[in-house]
Structure 1
Amino acid sequence: MVLPTPGINVQGGGVDVWSLINGAAAEASKSSGKPVTNLGQGFFSYAPPEFASEALKEALPVAAYNQYAPTKGRPELLNAVAKSYSPLFKRELDPNSELVITAGANEGMFSAFFAFLNQGDEVIVFEPFFDQYVPDIQMAGGKVVYVPIHPPKDAETRTSSANNWYIDFDELSNAITPKTKMIVLNTPHNPIGKVLTVEELSKIGELAVKHNIVILSDEVYDRLFYSSEFPRIATLSPEIWDLTLTVGSAGKSFSATGWRVGWVIGPAPLIHYVAKANTRIVFSTNTPCQIAVAKSLAIADETGYFQENINNFENKIKILTAAFDKLGLPYSIPEGGYFVLVNFSKVKIPEDFEFDELIQQKPRDFKLAIWLIKALGVVAIPPTEFTTPKTAPLLENWLRFAVCKDDSILEEAAEKLQGLKQYIQ
């Protein structure tokens, strides 16, 4: 029997980084008989805050909360998001026309791409990028145009702020063509940890206004920033607001990525079409989780939960980075999000260490990641998975570590990582 040929949008790609790294981790754990310490994928090792879990428990027995939600979202959550985010957006958000609730932030972005992209439209994406952007854009018929975010010149020798990674605005300007329909931003940035500054956002916004380009601002880590403020591109001018769709995530905000509740905020004329796409893609979003998120947002704002969570994450970052300080390995100090990029250019992999054929063909960061799993039992992610081959050399000496884990797990990783001493040149 000959199986049907899959559609072009889901062909190819080979083994993805998650399957590869998680497979290597499982194999290492089995062969050594010891569990690995997984700081790879950005899922939380702990439960949501108690008030969020309780809100979900309260929602589940209610008959109406177990049925379809309105396609744009439950009014309870639309109103809660509008109330929580209006002060942050410096405008009174209309919950009925300037918001749509989505099945996670990723589906919100998917809806935005489907709402505005026609075959052959170009979308500018900064490298490194969240890996879902590219297939989402391509499935909507778009063509991805890549612009790199560059590491600071001394990144391999000195620890410094992730905000020292920079955009070459000549490269960005040159990437714009008459076919450019959208620019995708990610701030705080995964995996760099960079928070785009007002100056950077203003330059991007001015280009978008000049060329009438939609801005899709992925701000899923917006409740985790470590400076005094978090600038939002949608707030910079009325003209920029008119072109901007901002994506948020309850999963990231409340340590509940499996709830799959997100939202898109923007001007009514743009949200209208995002909502239409959302209706056709999923129709509606998980109802009991919407109710729980609505209550959780109100409690979080009343109790100062978001600042408390920021303080907790600053401590988590310190636990992990202290290990690299001892080793003398430079890293980028994240200004937001929950990832730390560490430079391993000083680390020498033993010459007799054997890699399989697939890894042999990959950039050096894949080799580092596999070796680190097998040699020390610590899991990290190679960031060149989130770049094109042209840009990969900028990141092939780096590894990404997730700190959204219990402190005990981070402490265990920090101890294991001291085994790198014998491999540092």
Structure 2
Amino acid sequence: MSQMNSNPAVALHNPYFEQKQGSKDVWSLINETAAAAQAESGKPIVNLGQGFFSYNPPDFAIDSVIHALKSGFNQYAPAKGNPNLLKQLTQHYSEELGRPVQTNEIAITTGANEGMFSVFFGFLTPGDEAIVFDPFFDQYIPNIEMTGARVRYVELKFPDKFNTENVTGDDWTVDWEGLETAINSKTKLIVINTPHNPIGKIFNEQELKRIGELAIKHNLIVVSDEVYENLYFGAEFPRPATLKSLPELAKRTLTIGSAGKSFAATGWRVGWVHGPAELVQYVIAAHTRICFSTPAPLQQAVAEGFEQAKSNNYFENTRRDYIKKYEIFNKVFDDLGLPYTFAQGGYFLLVNLLSVKVPKDYVYPQEILDKGTDDYKLAYWLIKEIGVVGIPPTEFVVPSKRVAHGLEKCLRFAVCKDDSILEEAVERLKKLKDYL
């Protein structure tokens, strides 16, 4: 073996994970920028970047963890899930779907992300294709590609009026012609995310029906990532698996859920996949080989948490809390005249900063310039000069379309923070008035 190949990390690594020397993912780059800015200034940075909660889960959920640990739930859980949690979720989905749901229609996974991964590995093989709407949650792409399958991107069209006025999720429309063109004999899955990250869009019933009709016509599975299912701010939350106008869609829909998002406990890593038993069996098979089972005490804690959430109206109260959070945070952009997309669900706000005039001679580090899009510059400048962290949303766009995409002038902010943190962010963001 030559000297060049003597390092096993160099000679034997999986080329899929090859990265340009010195490049960083968006999370590392933005968080490191925030940490450096805080160290330089000696003042706390208001971090509204990643979607993790600034506060603990509710007391009843914390108590459930302690109870589970003391009650003997400390060994392997069954691969398909803790029976108590499966029971709670069957009750939950029986109410949502309006029909009895059985435990063999649910698989418990190690977070929603591993649930998605298990779906992809359960159904995709090399040469297959999966359709993803663009912008997308970035984790979908490697999860699909690692199976050997190919991603086909279909655009959620950037609304032109978003440059000058507020819009809603309904203004972000599906490229229907692009969707029909993307479907071919290799297509197996259509992935949707509702409520959507980073837009905050909830796919309406007409959109879901049209997607569903194509899935039925071409014998496809719809994978519906609904991790923010308990954070919707309208009268109801339409789901592919509950469409009254297309009930047969439920037979080919796999729904992804998350305890971390539901109970403000992203570190617990408990998620699930719900759908027809004949589909879920392949998700369980993949999950068993990926990690075998999900942490037993946390599954039990989530089971107890769901039971108590029904009696104390936790999810209803949480929705009211988030409506207030958006009211606190949105006001500064209303006052500044900066457009945003009204969040129909989830806990992100997408803001258009096209009108903000960053000094042309502002100096950026090379690693920001290397990203090649203005939203990275905006994010860097906002951290350094305003003291607020947002995420550049072109990271959620297919690389070939990032430059000159409307999102290049936007930032995504997470409002899953204490009201006091949002209020501090508002005070700092008022300084943007000097740059308009």
Amino acid paired to 1:57:
I
- Preserved contact between residue 257 and residue 273 of structure 2 (Cα < 8 Å): yes
Task: Kindly provide the amino acid, as one letter, of the partner of residue 425 in structure 2.
Answer: A
The corresponding residue for 1:380 is 390
Which whole-Å CA distance do the structure 2 matches of 1:56 and 1:325 have between them? 41
Segment of structure 1 superposing worse, 159-168 or 124-133:
159-168
Q: Does 1:255 align with 2:267?
A: no
Map residues 144-223 of structure 1 onto 2, 5 A cutoff.
Answer: 144-223=151-230
The residue number in structure 2 matching 1:89 is 97
Q: Establish whether residue 370 from structure 1 lines up as the match of residue 375 from structure 2.
A: no
**Distance in 2 (alpha carbons) for counterparts of 1:81 and 1:21:** 36
Paired position in structure 2 for 1:44:
53
Give the 3-state SS of the residue equivalent to 1:181 in structure 2: strand
Question: Does residue 67 in structure 1 map to residue 79 in structure 2?
Answer: no
Q: CA deviation at 1:238?
A: 4.3
How far apart, CA to CA, are the structure 1 residues paired with 2:18 and 2:287?
Answer: 24
Q: Which residue of the partner structure matches residue 2 of structure 1?
A: 7
- CA shift, 1:412, in A, is 0.2
Q: Distance in 2 between matches of 1:211 and 1:269?
A: 18
Deviation at residue 12 of structure 1 after TM alignment? 2.4
Range moving further from structure 2, 353-362 or 206-215 = 353-362
Write out per-residue CA displacement over residues 116-137 of structure 1, whole angstroms, 9 at most, x where no aligned residue.
0010111100111111100000
**Equivalent position SS for 2:364:** coil
Q: Map residues 334-349 of structure 1 onto 2, 5 A cutoff.
A: 334-349=343-358
For structure 1, the 5+ residue unaligned runs are: none
- Measured against aligned partners, the alpha-carbon deviations of 1:209-238 in whole angstroms (never above 9, x if no partner) come to 100111110000000000000001012244
Would you identify which runs of 4 or more consecutive aligned residues in structure 1 move more than 4 Å? none
The corresponding residue for 2:3 is none
Deviation of 1:241 after TM superposition, in Å, equals 1.4
Q: Tell me the residue number matched to 1:419.
A: 431
Is the contact made by 1:89 and 1:232 (CA closer than 8 Å) also made in structure 2?
Answer: no
Equivalent position SS for 2:70 = coil
Q: 1:397 aligns with which of 405, 409, 418?
A: 409
Superposition TM-score, scaled by structure 2 size: 0.95
> Would the aligned equivalents of 2:161 and 2:167 in 1 still touch at CA under 8 Å?
no
Q: Which amino acid in the other structure matches residue 78 of structure 1?
A: L
Which structure 2 residues correspond to residues 293-312 of structure 1 after superposition, within 5 A?
Answer: 293-312=302-321
TM-score, normalised via structure 1 length: 0.97
Distance 2:242 2:419 in 1: 36
Superposed CA RMSD: 1.1
CA deviations on 1:224-266 (whole Å, 9 max, x unpaired) are 0000000010122443112110000000000000000000000
Give the AA of the match of 1:285.
T
- How many percent of aligned residue pairs carry the same amino acid? 53
Distance 2:157 2:121 in 1: 30
Whole-Å separation in 1 of the counterparts to 2:124 and 2:149: 6
Further displaced range: 161-170 or 335-344: 161-170
The match for 1:137 is 144
Amino acid at match of 1:289: L
SS in 2 for 1:40: coil
| Amino acid corresponding to residue 224 of structure 2 in structure 1 | S
Secondary structure, aligned partner of 1:297: helix
- Cα deviation code 1:68-102 (max 9, x no counterpart): 0000001000000111121112221101x100000
The answer to whether the 8 A contact 2:231-2:346 is kept is yes
Contact 1:225 1:337 in 2 (8 A): yes
| 1:76 equivalent among 80, 84, 88 | 84
